[in-house]
Amino acid sequence: MNILLAEDDKKLGKLVKYVLEKKGGYHVDWVENGEDALDYAKASSYDVLILDWMMPRTDGIEVCKGLRAANYGQAIVLLTAKDALQDKILGLDAGADDYLTKPFEMDELLARLRTLTRRNFAPIQANVAAFGVFTLNRTSRRLFKSGDEIFLSQREYQLLDLFLQNIGHVLTREVILDRVWGIGSEVSYKNVDVTVKMLRDKLEAAQEEPMIHSVRGVGYRFER
């Protein structure tokens, strides 16, 4: 299961991400503000969004409202220190599927996630992007050439998806690092370059014409 965690408290964010990955076995992307939460949610396929209510650059309530207004159908959990009944009603009316009051036990969060994933939130429809001789299925997170699958690692998939959303635009290493690995990650630009090379090699092995172009001293540009 893929989860997007939006939490600006670094200590809590690191803890929740660690527990969900190690104890829950989930894949977790972590951002620290509402604007990034909106961008990530729209750009990738997540099963559950965990949103802190009080975040900089758009709070969790506004993120929730914005996504629901755009017909976002996946599960959303709000985390907040607000425990008044009216606050809970406000959160649920904004489109949240569940509400967890801080401080909370990690086991309770895991139990809530298990419950949510047993529910059917939206019909599963393949979101497919075709480019060159390739087809990227965003629902299954798989890449194909003429029906044959080309295996992508998690980071390679995220990188390719990011490139496809920004065709023709130069993406700096900083932007790639932020969008693929997340804020607060301890990887370096070398990790970015290595992942780009691995993805480029896989694409060029299937289609000789290069798609990923290096922009010296800046980053990379993707062309179909």
pLDDT at 184: 63
pLDDT reading at 119 higher than 80: no
State the Cα–Cα distance between residues 60 and 221, nearest whole angstrom: 32
- Listed residue (40, 4, 27) closest to 162, CA to CA: 40
CA distance 195 to 19: 26
Backbone angles phi, psi at 113, to 5 degrees: -65, -40
pLDDT at 85 (0 to 100): 74
Q: What are phi and psi of 107, to 5 degrees?
A: -65, -35
Half-sphere exposure (Cβ direction) of 18: Cα atoms closer than 13 Å: 7
Task: State the pLDDT at residue 139.
Answer: 76
**pTM here?**
0.54
Distances (CA, A) of 219 to 171, 187, 194, 212: 6, 16, 12, 10
Residue 111 or 118, more confident: 111
Q: What is the 3-state secondary structure (H, E, C) of 59-106?
A: CHHHHHHHHHHCCCCCEEEEEECCCCHHHHHHHHHCCCCEEEECCCCH
Chain segment 30-77, per-residue pLDDT in tens: 999 989 998 888 877 788 999 998 888 888 889 888 888 887 778 889
Half-sphere exposure of 220 (CA within 13 A, CB side): 26
pLDDT value at residue 126 = 57
185 Cβ contact partners less than 8 Å away, ≥ 6 residues apart: 177
Q: What is the pLDDT of residue 46?
A: 85
Q: Give the residue with greater pLDDT, 64 vs 139.
A: 64
pLDDT digits (tens, 9 = 90+) for 158-202: 899 999 988 899 999 988 988 888 766 677 888 899 999 999 999
Buried b (16+ CB within 10 A) or exposed e, 45-83: bbbbbbbbbbbeebbbbbbbbbbeeeebebbbbbbbeee
Percent of the chain scoring above 90 in pLDDT: 33
Average pLDDT over the chain, rounded to whole? 86
**pLDDT grade for 124, boundaries at 50, 70 and 90:** very low
C-alpha torsion 23→36→75→152, nearest 10: -60
Mean pLDDT of 124-146: 82
